[in-house]
Each structure stands twice: as structure tokens, then as C-alpha cells.
Amino acid sequence: MNEKVRAYLDRIGYQGGTEPTAETLSALQYAHLITVPYENLDILRGRRIRLDLDHLYEKIVVHRRGGYCFELNKLFGWLLRELGYQVTDYVARYWRGETEIPTRRHQVLSVVVPGTKEEYLCDVGVGAVIPLYPLPLRFGEEFDQNGPVYAFREDERFGIMLIERHDGGWRDVYSFTREVQYEPDYMFASFWCEFAEDSIFNKAPMLSIRKEGQIRCTLDGNVYRVFSPEGVTEKTLAENEVQQVIRDVFGIYLDE
């Protein structure tokens, strides 16, 4: 194992085996989600998002920052490839909360375990609720992840749709097709997220991290929330409190 992979595993607090199995894949995704925050702080500071692997590694592993989907899933995909998994990146449409057809502004990973034909959907790049563990990419089945229940459906226009049980029914989360994607596709989508007038990513701080025990902490603007099985707590923060939460909860120490 090379030093960069070892440092990445240390960054996410992973101490298990590295044989590329389904069990390892599940443990890696969980470890990533509870240690590396989702965050858009560089966009708000006017620092261009760079998607080259060297920069992402420096930002997320060396400087212990987070990022958003195009950063987090790209680097996680690199880690999985280094460990021996077969990984394919796709650009997705994020449907949750949308009333019109959304642009392709999300990145997801298809991962195949070596020596098997089992394909998994992996994603460590969403600030809202997403699967804590990889989902076998099979239709006609439901996957209960200790409360949240997910499934896939085939959509005639939008390809593979991840859906979640919600209010007694099912709700679309995001969709993707099998079309081959290239670096400019992700660069274009990320550029839209950075600069488009309609983008939600360039308006206010958006941070999220999962914690042990089905807990999720978020910071939206100056509103800090903690979601747990017992309910939701919410607090509106003063500016000095915002910076303290960014440091203490999300582990982010910004340079000048």
C-alpha cells in the first residue's frame, strides 16, 4: 500500500482490512461519511474549485477539509481504484426538493467488487440524507439502512433513479444514465454550481457531516441543526459562533 493511500485511510479513521470486498467497501463509505464534511466554503471565499486529483488530495487529506460532490466522490473513487475496485463515474440529476427538471449537477460512483458481477452505488458527496452504505444496484428490491429505505427504479427518460421511502410513499432522490462521462463534463457541472445565478452552492455556508448513532449535523447559513432519532435541535448562531461550529463540529480550520 502506498503512502498516499495509507494517509487517506488515516484521514477517514479507517483501520480495517483493505482487501477489495463488499464488506470493505461498505466500511470505507461509512468511515468517509462520518469524518469528511460536505462543505462549500471555498466557493464562498472566491477560491476556484479544482478537480485535479493532486489538489483534491492536498485539500481533503493533507489539510483535512471537506468539499462537495465533484470533489468528494472523485477523490473517493481514486481511493477505491487504488484498492482494486472497478469504478465508473456518472453525472446525475438531483431531484429531491425540485419541482422542475434539474440540471446535471451531481456526481456518483458505480463500483464493482473484483471477481464478482455485483455493482454498487456509492456516494459520499451529498449534504442531505443519503445512504450510509453502498447500495447494490438491483431493481425490484428495497434496502433498509437502519431507518431510511431506498430502492431503484428505471425511468424512461432519466435512466436509473434512486428513490427513498417518504411519507408513506416513494420520492425521487437522483438519477443518472450510463452515458460515458469525461473530465470536461464534471468541470462544466462544477462551474455551474460555482457561478450560476440559480445555484444554491454560492449563496451561504452549506455544511453537513454524519456522526455515529444516526446523527447528522448541518450548518445552513447561520442556522445549526442536529438531526437524531429523537428529533431535531436548531440554533441560530452569531458570526463568532458560526466560526466555532465550523471548527469544533466539522473540523475545518480555514487558512487566510
| Helix segments in 154-238, DSSP class H | 183-195
Q: Is 226 exposed, middle or buried (0-12, 13-18, 19+ CB in 10 A)?
A: middle
* Cell numbers representing residue 247 in the block: 471548527
Question: Which one is catalytic: 42, 89, 123, 172?
Answer: 123
* Cell numbers representing residue 129 in the block: 440524507
> Count of CB atoms within 10 A of residue 221's CB?
12
4, 39, 41, 209, 210 from 237: Cα distances, Å: 37, 17, 17, 18, 20
Q: Is 55 a catalytic residue?
A: no
DSSP 8-state class, residue 222: T
Q: Contact 247/255 with Cβ under 8 angstroms?
A: no
Q: Is 106 a catalytic residue?
A: yes
Alpha-carbon span 58 to 99, nearest angstrom: 37
Question: Which one is catalytic: 69, 122, 193, 217?
Answer: 69
DSSP 8-state class, residue 128: S
| Alpha carbon distance, N-terminus to C-terminus of the chain | 34
Residue type, 23: E
User: Taking the CA of residue 167 as centre, how many other CA atoms within 13 Å lie in the half-sphere pointing to its CB?
Assistant: 2
Q: Is 217 a catalytic residue?
A: no
Q: Contact 123/109 with Cβ under 8 angstroms?
A: yes
Q: Write out the catalytic residue numbers.
A: 69, 106, 123
